Amino acid sequence: MRRTLAGAAGAVLLAALLTPLPAAASAAAPTGAPSLAATAAAALAQHRDVIHGTDAETYTAGRVIADTSGAGHVRYQRSYHGLRVYGGDLVVHTAPNGAFAGAATGLTAPLTLGVLPKVTAAAAQTAAAKAFEGRITSVGGSELFVDASTPAAPRLAWETVVRGWAPDGQTPSVLHVLTDALTGTVRGSFDEVESVLGTGYSQYSGTVSIDTTQTSVSPVVYSLIDPSHGNNKVCSMSNLTGGTCAVMTDADNIWGNGATSSPQTAGVDAHFGAAKTYDYFKNVHSRCGILGACAGVTSRVHYGSNYVNAFWDGTQMTYGDGSSNLRPLTALDVAGHEMSHGVTEALAGLVYSGESGGLNEATSDIFGNMVEFYAGVAADPGDYLVGEKIDIFGTGAPLRYMYNPPLDGSSYGCWFSGIGSADPHYSSGVANHFYFDLAEGTGATAYGTSPICGSAAAVTGIGRAKAEKIWYRALDVYFVTSETYAQARTHTLAAAADLYGACSTEHKAVHLAWAAVNVVGTDPCATGPVAGSLVWLRADAGVTSSAGKVSNWADQSGTAHHASMTVAARQPTVVSGVVNGKPVIRFGGSQSLALTAINPSAFTIFVVGKNTKTTESFSMILGPGGDSANNQLRWENGTQALVYGSNGLPTATTTIGNTRVFHDLVIRYDGATLKVYRDGTLYSTTSGSASGGWAINQIGAYYSSYFMQGDLAELLVYSSALTDAARVSTQNYLKSKYALP
């Protein structure tokens, strides 16, 4: 890829999206699926909050995907005050019965920015010209749009297209420059011409069969035009960068000699690579042609002189002959990689900056390798290496290693919070590593040893045939332009569930493979908390009640720390179907349960519930009774959680957000540090050493005087500070069970 980026905040626009679509109100349903498009439009109108929509917006339907089950997926482009919103695209999903089944978008909040520029279009064009490196042949007009490719900071911007030649004088450039419409600062840019630097040697695929066309009978002339693959064709630029590209011809239909001494040799490799890429997408993914219209592509060979490059410009492939015109860059995985950029542009339009840029590049690495495996050529077998035949470094080393990306010296194999600022070629390593682990597994494999990031669990691969289907469906149905790694995790899980079933082996493997590269999230198939709890009370098990009044709540941990209340007026109520269809124990402000006493010196506590007191200084969750020490855990002031211990436990009053909705509250103390989490997010860390245990013997009350008003669905207490992995596992179980945020 040849791209120019201003930094992590730089945005990218795809040429295919530059033409405004007609207004949503008058847009006709896409041909072939009017009912599905209409169903999605109705769902979108009813659930606009899910995609952070506003009254200032319109939505225009694009591709419609109908599953065999009857489920549907419709992509939309968004306009804001009549301006195109880049990064605001969305996908609406509908169930087989037509019900709304969710939506995906890159936006994280409704757009509120103004749309009056302070910088003129002429000033933006001047800035764009200054940003161009090379020789300019034309500067186009500027389009005003909303750049939401960085969702947290959408900006009003100008896009200007500058055409010309790159500094090498041979590579064409169609540079899209993005200028802030309020400050005049160049936010970023991208080049439509996508390329990979490298060198090649001789012929890469050995002796192969290729489809050609006889274009003359007398004399007999065969041409490198492939009627079996949408009329793919190969032409020669005769080592020039302009002028006519002449289709390659031959008199006996025997092409090349396996060496660069024959100009046809590079043509054979290019023709073969284009055919195998076409076949791969058609036969594996039912996609007919790179752009989906069953049309072939042109491959230009012998481009320029001593040109060490190859690129995809949106419609065709171009290959240089390399150093001294002796090393054509026509390797099979290079062809598959570059043409796969065309597939990505057509399906999801992944922005080539930030994390989506890495996912864009990884998609080409993934499918380039899958083309190589699909071709099954003994001279160039599939290997999960990128560009191993072109020997770009002159050492025999490949460009990238999918099984262990850092081996190339620049790529990242594990996700971290700043990875969006890295070059997409290097941030792609996380997705490449994920894909390898999903297909082949972690540890020692036939292709190399794949390391695990951190303390993640080992992964058993599900095979290439299933992994490639999952990645393609996620790209086709779920990915949005500003896709992040966290979203890619969610969307590949959805794709795996679609294809193989929720909680299938394949679905679970996707979860584990992302965790192995440090992209972590809720286990969609968690079935219970980690073992070893001291107290485990759950409203859906072990509750003894009469007329709804709870007299006993049996501990499920096996340690007999039961909770009970014999005084009828003090008994809380069990209420069914409250949170994700499950019951809760409801405390009305004067009820509590006596808990068989616990006194841990280190602990981890999980509470699933909500505070229903509309105004209060506090609402008690756990506390002491009688003459017990002044220890307590409570909700406070509607947005806080307070932990206190008279034994020297550090006091923590933590703002955790609205407590009047169901949430997961976690308190972890290891004897030196107290941490407070809500819904998986760490909200506070407080240091302090307690002098003894933290004695608790009441639920919902403090000294039998100050009470809770709220609902409890589940309470877990461990007499140790759980590891992060154990904490996350238990939180995942609770999140899945109760559909928590």
Strand partners, 28: none
Q: How far apart are alpha carbons 643 and 622 in whole angstroms? A: 10
The H or E element spanning position 125 is: helix 121-131
Give SS3 for 364: helix
Between strands 249-250 and 172-180, the pairing is unpaired
Q: How far apart are alpha carbons 488 and 513 in whole angstroms? A: 12
Q: What pLDDT, on the 0 to 100 scale, is given for residue 502? A: 87
Q: How far apart are alpha carbons 143 and 86 in whole angstroms? A: 12
Q: How far apart are alpha carbons 303 and 113 in whole angstroms? A: 46
Taken in order 41, 45, 47, 51, the sign of the CA dihedral is: positive
Residue 703 has pLDDT above 80, yes or no: no
CA–centroid distance for 593 within its chain: 45
Please answer whether residues 261 and 289 qualify as being in contact, where contact means their C-beta atoms are separated by less than 8 angstroms.
Answer: no
- What DSSP string runs through 568-611? GGG--EEEEEEETTEEEEEEESS--EEEEEE--SSEEEEEEEEE
Lowest mean pLDDT among 33-47, 453-467, 577-591: 33-47
Reported pTM: 0.65
- Cα separations (Å) of 611 from 154, 391, 579, 701, 708? 35, 63, 14, 13, 8
Give SS3 for 496: helix
Lowest mean pLDDT among 178-192, 210-224, 552-566, 698-712: 210-224
Residue 603 has pLDDT above 90, yes or no: yes
Write out the two tokens for 461: 């691969």
Average pLDDT value for residue range 574-592? 94
Average pLDDT score, the chain: 88
Q: What pLDDT, on the 0 to 100 scale, is given for residue 412? A: 98
Residue 27 has pLDDT above 60, yes or no: no
What would the pLDDT profile of 400-427 be if each residue is shown by its tens digit?
Answer: 999 999 999 999 999 999 999 999 999 9
Check residue 700 and give left, alpha or beta (phi > 0: left; psi -120 to 50: alpha): left
Q: pLDDT band for 626, please (50, 70, 90 cuts).
A: low
Average pLDDT value for residue range 17-40? 45
Please answer whether residues 568 and 549 qualify as being in contact, where contact means their C-beta atoms are separated by less than 8 angstroms.
Answer: yes
Residue 288 has pLDDT above 90, yes or no: yes
What would the pLDDT profile of 469-484 be if each residue is shown by its tens digit?
Answer: 999 999 999 999 999 9
What would the pLDDT profile of 111-151 be if each residue is shown by its tens digit?
Answer: 999 999 999 999 999 999 999 988 999 999 999 999 998 88
Q: pLDDT band for 23, please (50, 70, 90 cuts).
A: very low
Average pLDDT value for residue range 505-514? 96
Nearest by Cα to 513 from 465, 456, 474, 475: 456
Q: What pLDDT, on the 0 to 100 scale, is given for residue 661? A: 93
Please answer whether residues 527 and 710 qualify as being in contact, where contact means their C-beta atoms are separated by less than 8 angstroms.
Answer: no
Higher pLDDT, 226 or 382: 382
Residue 171 has pLDDT above 50, yes or no: yes
State the Cα torsion 704-707-713-718 to the nearest 10°. -50
- Cα separations (Å) of 474 from 43, 179, 519, 564? 21, 32, 16, 50
Burial class (CB in 10 A: 0-12, 13-18, 19+), 123: middle
Please answer whether residues 151 and 212 qualify as being in contact, where contact means their C-beta atoms are separated by less than 8 angstroms.
Answer: no
Lowest mean pLDDT among 12-26, 348-362, 372-386: 12-26
Q: pLDDT band for 194, please (50, 70, 90 cuts).
A: low
Catalytic residues: 338, 425
What would the pLDDT profile of 660-697 be if each residue is shown by its tens digit?
Answer: 999 999 999 999 999 999 988 899 999 999 888 999 99
Q: How far apart are alpha carbons 108 and 146 in whole angstroms? A: 15
Residue 383 has pLDDT above 90, yes or no: yes
Q: pLDDT band for 629, please (50, 70, 90 cuts).
A: low
The H or E element spanning position 104 is: strand 100-105
Please answer whether residues 411 and 425 qualify as being in contact, where contact means their C-beta atoms are separated by less than 8 angstroms.
Answer: yes
- Cα separations (Å) of 132 from 137, 158, 174, 188? 11, 15, 10, 11
Q: pLDDT band for 13, please (50, 70, 90 cuts).
A: very low
Please answer whether residues 584 and 607 qualify as being in contact, where contact means their C-beta atoms are separated by less than 8 angstroms.
Answer: no
Q: pLDDT band for 6, please (50, 70, 90 cuts).
A: very low
Residue 31 has pLDDT above 70, yes or no: no
Taken in order 108, 111, 113, 116, the sign of the CA dihedral is: positive
Q: What pLDDT, on the 0 to 100 scale, is given for residue 173? A: 83
Residues in the chain: 741
Residue 616 has pLDDT above 60, yes or no: yes
What would the pLDDT profile of 198-236 be if each residue is shown by its tens digit?
Answer: 222 235 888 888 888 888 778 888 899 888 898 899 999
**In the block, residue with structure tokens 């195998």:** 276
Lowest mean pLDDT among 216-220, 254-258, 269-273, 296-300: 216-220
Q: What pLDDT, on the 0 to 100 scale, is given for residue 627? A: 60
Average pLDDT value for residue range 261-286? 94
The H or E element spanning position 312 is: strand 309-312
Average pLDDT value for residue range 59-80? 91
Please answer whether residues 552 and 539 qualify as being in contact, where contact means their C-beta atoms are separated by less than 8 angstroms.
Answer: no
Q: How far apart are alpha carbons 271 and 283 in whole angstroms? A: 18
Centre a 10 Å sphere on the Cβ of residue 317 and count the other Cβ atoms it contains: 28
Please answer whether residues 739 and 582 qualify as being in contact, where contact means their C-beta atoms are separated by less than 8 angstroms.
Answer: no
DSSP conformation class of 531: S
